[in-house]
Structure 1
Amino acid sequence: MSFSFDPIGFIRSPYTDKFGIPRQPRLVEAAHARLELCPEYAREEAFKALEGFSHVWVVFVFHDDCLDAGWRPTVRPPRLGGRATVGVFASRAPYRPNPIGISAVAHEGLERDGNGLALKLRGIDLLDGTPVLDIKPYVPYADALHDARSGFAQERVVCLRPIRFEAAALEGIAQADPDGRLGLRALIEQVLTQDPRPGYMDRYPERRRFGLQLYDRNIRWEFDEQYIRVLSVELAC
């Protein structure tokens, strides 16, 4: 049997490049996004009573280069530093027989504007433009399994180095987000706290400078002995 599904909408998120996207949802609460619904599903009655739920499951398609890449029976999870392989079904890697993912994120209600109807989301971990197949309410008594085991993903990985913003970076943030609506500084801080570098970077201690893109801005930062220093925030070419 084969099945064909059409998206109900598309994600608009600050993650315009894959590098820097948190490896799980809700790790970066400052990451706000919108699920912009396709016209045939942009009906308020389809969301009646959803306001009683604080979180939703987002069922999505790994798009970009994953659709044409095929699946892999084993993968190297970032959690294991890219050194060890596990079965694809023991991971959340995108290179799956059917490149479908799920994320549990906070929702903050509906919004209708010139782009149509959208569901506002928070704590997202999805690339801008991600197709969404469905959303379902998160039900704590059934979905939160307090006695569950988590294999090799035992705990959240956090970089404990303080973050310092250079003057040029602060100036770039002020230009990109003059009214603070994007919460760009908090977004940068929370993304870097997750240490977005590849897990194998401890093999290359001499490499200290990195970059990623959020919205339409390039963020440049470096690791030194004490801090994560944000060097610049500039308009992407």
Structure 2
Amino acid sequence: MQKAAQKLQKSNKLLLAIPLCHAEERSISRKSYLPGDSSCLGVTLRNKHLKMQKDFKFNPIGIVHSPFKEKFGIPRQPGLAPSAKAVIELLPPFNLAETVLGLPEFSHIWVIFIFHATSERGWSPTVRPPRLGGNKRTGVFATRSTHRPNPIGMSVAELEQVEVENGKVLLHLRNIDLMDGTPVIDIKPYVPYSDSIPNAYADYAANVPEHKLIVSFNEEVEIKLREKPQLKQLIIEILRLDPRPAYRSIKDDANVYGIRIEDVDVKFKIENNAVIVVDL
């Protein structure tokens, strides 16, 4: 029996290794599942853990073309700026009509992507979410922070059109929070019955952020935007969310801030809890 058990242990199968434990070790505690545990089950799990420690290579399947040319000013979540549109261009060898067959039958998609602009900064076990004022720390896995062990993000977007023409496959999206040049590693359809959970709760992120600020433009800027109503609306949707660092968002300050939207540098300041766009 002992030889048979030892043979099973060598096979490194989790459940079959348990009979080798001493009687007092058969009551498996939560601690036993830690990779560094010295119990027989812990050793088995640690061996499996070491075998799993390998690199996984992901090839981008597409790239995002977005009006957001830099991190500052991008909505912190999707769905907050309806006028924010983007295009995902599929890259070879994935730019085939067959890869998107049936996708137009879905109104929304999940975009799985890489936080390419922050990946080199590494990660921290705790972060300071903007929704908590930027001063309170919480665990990285309890946030959607860009600074993660693996810099992978996910975003839901409205799918307006799937365009297949001249060897290109383009997915036209709206209501996005994606930076220009973002590498896309996967696309999945949004399935309402599975992905929407009406009774879910989310503690500090339970409610949609309020549009706290009124946005106005000085006379010179109004003239420049007269023939660009879509750009003007996008600027309003971005600035009313107060893109400043969270610790500054509770007060006025004397700074003039700038965000780049499309090919325009938008300069603004905050006075009396309102945004004034002072230059383009």
Length-normalised TM-score, structure 1 = 0.89
2:81–2:175: 8 Å Cα contact kept in structure 1?
yes
Corresponding residue for residue 134 of structure 1: 186
Q: How does 1:113-152 map to 2 (within 5 A)?
A: 116-152=168-204
Corresponding residue for residue 71 of structure 1: 123
Corresponding residue for residue 11 of structure 1: 64
Cα pair distance change 1:154/1:218, threshold 3 Å:
same
Q: Which structure: greater helix fraction?
A: 2
Bigger mean CA deviation after superposition, 163-172 or 109-118: 109-118
Give the one of 91, 100, 125 matched to 1:47.
100
* TM superposition shift of 1:112: 4.5
1:30–1:187: 8 Å Cα contact kept in structure 2?
yes
Give the one of 232, 240, 254 matched to 1:207.
254
Cα deviation per residue 1:39-80 (whole Å; 9 max; x = unaligned)? 21111221111111100000000002x222222111111111
1:158–1:195: 8 Å Cα contact kept in structure 2?
no
2:130–2:246: 8 Å Cα contact kept in structure 1?
yes
* TM superposition shift of 1:228: 1.9
* TM superposition shift of 1:171: 2.9
Cα deviation per residue 1:174-221 (whole Å; 9 max; x = unaligned)? 5xxx465xx201100100121111110157633353221101111111
Structure possessing the higher radius of gyration over alpha carbons: 2
The percentage of counterpart residues that share the same residue type is 41
Structure number with the bigger relative contact order (C-alpha 8 A, sep ≥ 6) is 1
Q: How does 1:1-237 map to 2 (within 5 A)?
A: 1-64=54-117, 66-112=118-164, 116-174=168-226, 178=227, 183-202=230-249, 205-225=252-272, 227-233=274-280
Cα deviation per residue 1:114-161 (whole Å; 9 max; x = unaligned)? 793211011110110000001000000100011111021121222333
User: SS of the counterpart of 2:205?
Assistant: coil
Cα pair distance change 1:115/1:208, threshold 3 Å:
farther
Name the aligned partner's letter for residue 270 of structure 2. Answer: F
C-alpha distance in 1, partners of 2:89/2:279? 31
Gaps of 5+ in 2: 1-53
Length-normalised TM-score, structure 2 = 0.76
Cα pair distance change 1:42/1:100, threshold 3 Å:
same
C-alpha distance in 2, partners of 1:51/1:123? 17
1:55–1:137: 8 Å Cα contact kept in structure 2?
yes
